[in-house]
Amino acid sequence: MNPETAPTLATDPALLGVLNELIGREPIFHRPEWGTTRAHFENMTTADSWEVGASGRPYGREDVLAELERRQQVQTVDVWEAAGFHCRELPKDFYLLT
């Protein structure tokens, strides 16, 4: 992305409560308190949801759900660190966390 055309990432101070709530859910699929079964993961996503992996490759919902099920069968410790979050409201009461 060209730095000159990159969006300015800043959270409106009125959205700081929403920002903090969303940060508490990230990374959502690596927090057992939000669920560990396929049914839980399905409830956290929409039918047309998708993600972009660390490689930059997009993954559809079925790919993500299958991988999450696979990870539940293997006892591993995921170490995740995320920082620099920003939040903006898209339509009313719908938020984008970056």
Q: What is the pTM of this model?
A: 0.63
pLDDT at site 1? 60
40: left (phi over 0), alpha (psi -120 to 50) or beta: alpha
Q: Which residues of the chain have pLDDT under 70?
A: 1-3, 78
Tokens of 37: 């079964």
Q: What is the pLDDT of residue 72?
A: 84
| Helices assigned H by DSSP within 1-98 | 16-23, 38-43, 61-73
